[in-house]
Amino acid sequence: MSKNRENSQFESVASLLPSVVKPTPSKPPKQARRFPLPTDTAFDNPQMSLFQSFLCNNQEQENALSNAIDLWDSVPRYSVSHEAMKKARIDGEFLRPHEMIFQHRGRTYTRTIFSARIVDEDGQSRDYYPSATEELVEDALRKMAAEQQAGYFENSPYRSGVVFTVYALREEMKKRGHTRSFQQIVRSLNILARSVIEIKTEGGGEGCDQSPYFPRLSAVSRTKLKDDPEAKWLVQFHPLVTGSIDQVTYRQYNYRQMMSLGTQLARWLHKQLVLKFTFADYQTRFEMRYSTIKRDSGLLGYGRERNNMDAVDKAFGDLKSEGVISDFKRKDETGLRGKVLDVVFTVMPHIDFIRETKAANKRLLNAKADSAMPVVSGGGSKRNPVVSGGGSR
């Protein structure tokens, strides 16, 4: 990746967010020129082909797969519940910027969320942080970008995203056990487009990335949407997702299994295992501390520590029930008078998780090797897909 492009990930793009795509006039204004629609080559190029190709044995397995994005999926960006928002609102309307500290691969980051202003059904404007439903919407859109060949990637302007219909997005979420109405999905899309997330490295010296979750959301008008649920929408993914597609730092994982988990915490733990337990084998174990999970997930807001610890215990139980792990052990670390200070959870991978991890490792190596190939001018043509009839899954 070029130096300029790398630096561009640490610049604010919030001011570039347009409202609604309009038909391009004969002499397009500056706003339209700044945000042209993706070209045909944006949907058919080597980087997008790699993102859409999976190492698996058959179509059924491929339908279960999507891509996890290393840093982006480790940022606690959906950690505030609706109940917590309700309590935090000033005068029932306003939310202050929400800040928390987390770590990723030995580095400390500060994450700040600036809320979205949404008009509720009662006509009242209220602030919202992206929460559980918005996370499911983003995961479903990333799946659609990979599975339905609707994803796009461009070098200039540097961006990636997906073209979709609200109907198709709703059906994808329903298929995965998360039914939402048209109105709820449109509301979530607006929250994602209007909320800004800032990610700073410790001390602010190494970089700062500030951008809406979706830097661009283009849609038909509300009236047209009611008449035509098949009307096209366009979303641009966060710059960290675009950078991952460009640099091939994503990992394939069992998206269907992740979406079947009933809690945000269990889904977060699943993604962390996918991204970090990359050496899973029959003889290996993986340890996760309660204190680390609490710090980095932002999802443990119960008043009593024991309740938080029990929630993590239950989430690991859900992973076991769904076949992500075969078993886990809990070891409490106690202090004076037997007070539990921390908990160490040791997990044993399920045989299916081991197979999926090995396939993900091989696919990543293949993709990085392919990505090193020279790109033909004008966007290039698709390379041979990574999908294999003899994969290790």
pLDDT band at 149 (very low <50, low <70, confident <90, very high): confident
> What is the structure's pLDDT at 123?
93
| CATH code, domain carrying 315 | 1.10.10.10
pLDDT band at 34 (very low <50, low <70, confident <90, very high): low
Closest CA relative to residue 1, chosen from 198, 216, 245: 245
- Does pLDDT of 35 surpass 80? no
Q: Do 50 and 195 fall into the same domain? A: yes
pLDDT band at 162 (very low <50, low <70, confident <90, very high): very high
Q: How far apart are CA 286 and CA 7, in angstroms?
A: 35
In a domain, 16, yes or no: no
pLDDT > 90 in the chain, percent: 76
pLDDT band at 386 (very low <50, low <70, confident <90, very high): very low
Q: Do 245 and 274 fall into the same domain? A: no
pLDDT digits (tens, 9 = 90+) for 197-213: 999 998 655 578 899 99
Phi/psi for 304 (5° steps) reads: -95, 135
Q: Do 283 and 303 fall into the same domain? A: yes
Rounded mean pLDDT of 140-163? 93
pLDDT digits (tens, 9 = 90+) for 89-138: 999 999 999 999 999 999 999 999 999 999 998 999 999 999 999 999 99
- Residue 369, classed as helix, strand or coil, is helix
> What is the structure's pLDDT at 327?
98
Q: Do 285 and 212 fall into the same domain? A: no
> What is the structure's pLDDT at 10?
32
Domain that holds residue 361: 261-372
> What is the structure's pLDDT at 209?
87
> What is the structure's pLDDT at 274?
98
- Residues forming a β-bridge with 110: 101, 200
Q: How far apart are CA 146 and CA 205, in angstroms?
A: 35
- Residues forming a β-bridge with 92: none
Rounded mean pLDDT of 144-166? 92
- Does pLDDT of 385 surpass 80? no
- Does pLDDT of 375 surpass 90? no
- Does pLDDT of 9 surpass 90? no
Pairing of strands 232-236, 250-254: unpaired
Residue 72 has what DSSP assignment? G
- Residues forming a β-bridge with 345: 288, 330
Average pLDDT, the chain: 86
Q: Do 240 and 98 fall into the same domain? A: yes
The secondary structure of the chain in percent helix, strand, coil, rounded to multiples of 5, reads 40, 25, 35
- Does pLDDT of 239 surpass 90? yes
pLDDT digits (tens, 9 = 90+) for 46-57: 999 999 999 999
Q: How far apart are CA 95 and CA 116, in angstroms?
A: 9
Q: How far apart are CA 307 and CA 311, in angstroms?
A: 6
In a domain, 24, yes or no: no
Closest CA relative to residue 159, chosen from 312, 13, 54, 21: 13
Q: Do 116 and 188 fall into the same domain? A: yes
pLDDT digits (tens, 9 = 90+) for 215-225: 999 987 666 76
Q: How far apart are CA 16 and CA 200, in angstroms?
A: 20
In a domain, 27, yes or no: no
Last residue of a domain, one of 194, 220, 255: 255
Kindly report the pTM of this predicted structure.
Answer: 0.85
> What is the structure's pLDDT at 301?
84
For tokens 């561009």, the residue is 8
Rounded mean pLDDT of 190-194? 98
Phi/psi for 226 (5° steps) reads: -65, -35
Q: Do 117 and 227 fall into the same domain? A: yes
Number of residues assigned to the chain: 393
Closest CA relative to residue 249, chosen from 75, 42, 47: 47
Q: Do 199 and 95 fall into the same domain? A: yes
Q: Do 242 and 337 fall into the same domain? A: no
Instruction: Name the maximum alpha-carbon separation found in the chain.
Output: 77
> What is the structure's pLDDT at 302?
78
Interacting residues of 178 by C-beta distance below 8 A, sequence separation 6+: 133, 136, 140, 259
Q: How far apart are CA 55 and CA 358, in angstroms?
A: 10
Q: Do 48 and 79 fall into the same domain? A: yes
> What is the structure's pLDDT at 226?
61
pLDDT digits (tens, 9 = 90+) for 254-287: 999 999 999 999 999 999 999 999 999 999 999 9
> What is the structure's pLDDT at 82?
94
Interacting residues of 326 by C-beta distance below 8 A, sequence separation 6+: 320, 348, 349, 350, 351
Look up residue 141 and give its amino acid: L
Interacting residues of 307 by C-beta distance below 8 A, sequence separation 6+: none
Structure-block tokens of residue 146:
């990979």
pLDDT band at 303 (very low <50, low <70, confident <90, very high): confident
Sign for the CA dihedral angle at 128, 131, 136, 142 comes to positive
Last residue of a domain, one of 230, 255, 280: 255
Q: Do 107 and 186 fall into the same domain? A: yes
In a domain, 112, yes or no: yes
> What is the structure's pLDDT at 203?
67
- The more confident residue out of 227 and 31 is 227
In a domain, 341, yes or no: yes
Last residue of a domain, one of 233, 255, 277: 255
For tokens 């060949």, the residue is 149
Give the chain's domain count. Answer: 2
Report whether 141 contacts 107 (CB < 8 A): no
Q: Do 229 and 116 fall into the same domain? A: yes
> What is the structure's pLDDT at 204?
53
Give the Å distances, CA to CA, from 292 to 101, 106, 209.
11, 12, 23
In a domain, 4, yes or no: no
